């Protein structure tokens, strides 16, 4: 069934305005700065049926997406130890290149020097999101402030992306990522790129070294299955954010290394890491940080915007929130609706024993007109259950998460805060927040967790 025209137009108006807000400068830029987002391409408009005018897409069975992993060399041992044995390395085995004569997406050849004759996905699946190349500008020279300074402009329940490399913890406020989508950073000695796609609710961090070369990423202004397509500035290869895979250009088939990242509240971050660092609003661009240009987008009754791809399995609403884990052998999705009820999950995925924790107290960034004002949707994190040679099981006793073996209490970030195991930290696994439609498009074989 098609979307009602009035419903579609409401979503179209909100989201098109959001994309424009993310590209348009607010006020004047600092001296010497040029905002690349001076001109935007028009977003697709609905036809008489209320649907956007988009070319027909191939059937779902024709789509091929590689498992997440990494083809890069020199992965950081600091973060490798935190991946708890889950697959973060892959190869180009079985990669099928498509017709080198297929025309690339409209306008791409004028904006990019990409070798578009090499690609692994049909170009008909790629749509313009509205902005041109770098129209949503990445943060290439990130500055950081201490926790006490960031507290002046961050609210307690406001979401941030948390990355920890060794003992160094950094918070990347979603209110900033909303307007930039990519931050190219160096955490310790590790080159990372921190990414956020508002249309899919995906906050993902990657190591940005491939075959020994450090890459810098920008936005293409294109989407596939509503998901951000990035490009690297060294080869102008196009990369799919959701899979971490290069899909067009010289590096097609390579896959970035995923790093553990959690979307948690500002309050959780500052309490856990009082000496942590926070991405500054001093980005070199003037934006209305803190304002949500996608207000109402995550209404569970609304369809996703600019999505054309495989039909979304009906087990969950399209924009239901899920925490996802992919071991390479098996993929699983943990619906937030279930996590909010049980609060602690013990599961085995691809032979790996995992725990998933949920805790209330994190706002939706995509609900209210302000990022901080969204409804409380909670936060979820995932860890290995292996501690000191034994496998723990976890439960919620009505007030807190405890392990059944020692009765120790654990927080959302996998640290025992009291009891026999106090101070012990569980090893995080790569677990990514998605809307269900987004994850199912790339991982249709996913198992949905049921208690």
What percentage of the chain exceeds 90 in pLDDT?
76
More confident residue, 36 or 410: 410
d(CA 171, CA 85): 25
- pLDDT of 103-161, one tens digit each? 999 999 999 999 999 999 999 999 999 999 999 999 999 999 999 999 999 999 999 99
- HEC string of the chain equals CCCCHHHHHHHHHHHHHHHHHHHCCCCCCCCCCCCCCCCCCCCCCECCCCCECCCCCCCHHHCCCCCCCCCCCCCCHHHHHHHCCCCCCCCCCCCCCCCCCCCCCCCHHHHCCCCCCCECCCHHHEEECCCCCCCCCCECCCCEEEHHHHCCCCCCCCEEEEEEECCEEEEEEHHHHHHHCEEEEEECCEEEEEEEECCCCEEEEEECEECCEECCEEEEEEEECCEEEEEECCCCCEEECCCCEEEECCCCCCECEEECCEEEEHHHHHHHCCCCEEECCCCCCCCCCCECCCCCCCCCCCCCCCCCCCCCCCCCCCCCEEEEEECCCCEEEEEHHHHHHHCEEEEEECCEEEEEEEECCCECCCCCCECCCCCECCEEEEEECEECCEECCEEECCCCEEECCCCCEECCCCEEEECCCCCCECCECCEEEEEHHHHHHHCCCCEECCC
Q: Average pLDDT for residues 234-261, to the nearest whole number?
A: 98
| Residue 43: band (very low, low, confident or very high) from pLDDT cuts 50, 70, 90 | very low
Query: pTM for this structure?
Result: 0.83
Q: What is the pLDDT of residue 19?
A: 58
Does the pLDDT value for residue 59 go beyond 90?
A: no
- pLDDT of 258-268, one tens digit each? 999 999 999 99
d(CA 145, CA 331): 37
Does the pLDDT value for residue 236 go beyond 70?
A: yes
Lowest average pLDDT, out of 94-103, 262-271, 362-371, goes to 94-103
Does the pLDDT value for residue 366 go beyond 50?
A: yes
């Amino acid at each position: 069934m098609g979307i009602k025209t009035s419903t579609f137009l409401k979503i179209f108006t909100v989201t098109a305005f959001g994309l424009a807000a993310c590209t348009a400068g607010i006020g004047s830029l600092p001296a010497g700065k040029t905002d690349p987002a001076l001109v935007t391409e028009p977003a697709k408009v609905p036809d008489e049926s209320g649907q956007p005018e988009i070319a027909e897409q191939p059937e779902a069975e024709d789509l091929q997406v590689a498992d997440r992993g990494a083809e890069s060399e020199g992965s950081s041992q600091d973060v490798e130890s935190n991946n708890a044995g889950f697959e973060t390395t892959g190869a180009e085995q079985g990669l099928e290149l498509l017709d080198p004569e297929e025309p690339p997406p409209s306008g791409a050849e004028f904006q990019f020097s990409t070798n578009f004759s090499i690609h692994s996905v049909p170009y008909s699946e790629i749509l313009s999101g509205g902005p041109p190349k770098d129209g949503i500008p990445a943060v290439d020279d990130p500055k950081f402030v201490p926790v006490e300074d960031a507290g002046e402009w961050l609210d307690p329940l406001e979401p941030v992306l948390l990355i920890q490399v060794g003992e160094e913890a950094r918070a990347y406020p979603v209110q900033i990522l909303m307007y930039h989508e990519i931050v190219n950073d160096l955490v310790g000695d590790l080159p990372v790129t921190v990414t956020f796609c508002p249309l899919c609710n995906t906050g993902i961090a990657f190591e940005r070294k491939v075959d020994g070369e450090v890459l810098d990423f920008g936005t293409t202004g294109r989407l596939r299955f509503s998901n951000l397509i990035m490009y690297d500035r060294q080869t102008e290869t196009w990369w799919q954010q959701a899979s971490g895979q290069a899909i067009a250009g010289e590096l097609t088939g390579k896959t970035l290394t995923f790093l553990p990242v959690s979307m948690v509240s500002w309050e959780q971050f500052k309490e856990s890491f009082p000496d942590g660092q926070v991405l500054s609003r001093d980005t070199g661009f003037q934006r209305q940080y803190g304002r949500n240009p996608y207000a109402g987008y995550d209404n569970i009754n609304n369809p996703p915007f600019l999505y054309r791809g495989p039909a979304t399995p009906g087990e969950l609403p399209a924009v239901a929130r899920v925490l996802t884990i992919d071991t390479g052998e098996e993929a699983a999705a943990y619906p937030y609706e279930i996590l909010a009820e049980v609060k602690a999950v013990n599961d085995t995925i691809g032979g790996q024993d995992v725990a998933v924790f949920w805790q209330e107290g994190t706002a939706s960034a995509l609900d209210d007109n302000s990022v901080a004002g969204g409804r409380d949707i909670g936060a979820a994190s995932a860890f290995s259950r292996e501690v000191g040679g034994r496998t723990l099981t976890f439960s919620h006793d009505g007030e807190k998460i405890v392990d059944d073996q020692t009765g120790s209490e654990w927080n959302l970030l996998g640290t025992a805060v009291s009891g026999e195991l106090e101070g012990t930290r569980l090893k995080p696994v790569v677990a990514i927040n998605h809307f269900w439609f987004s994850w199912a498009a790339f991982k249709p074989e996913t198992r949905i967790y049921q208690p």
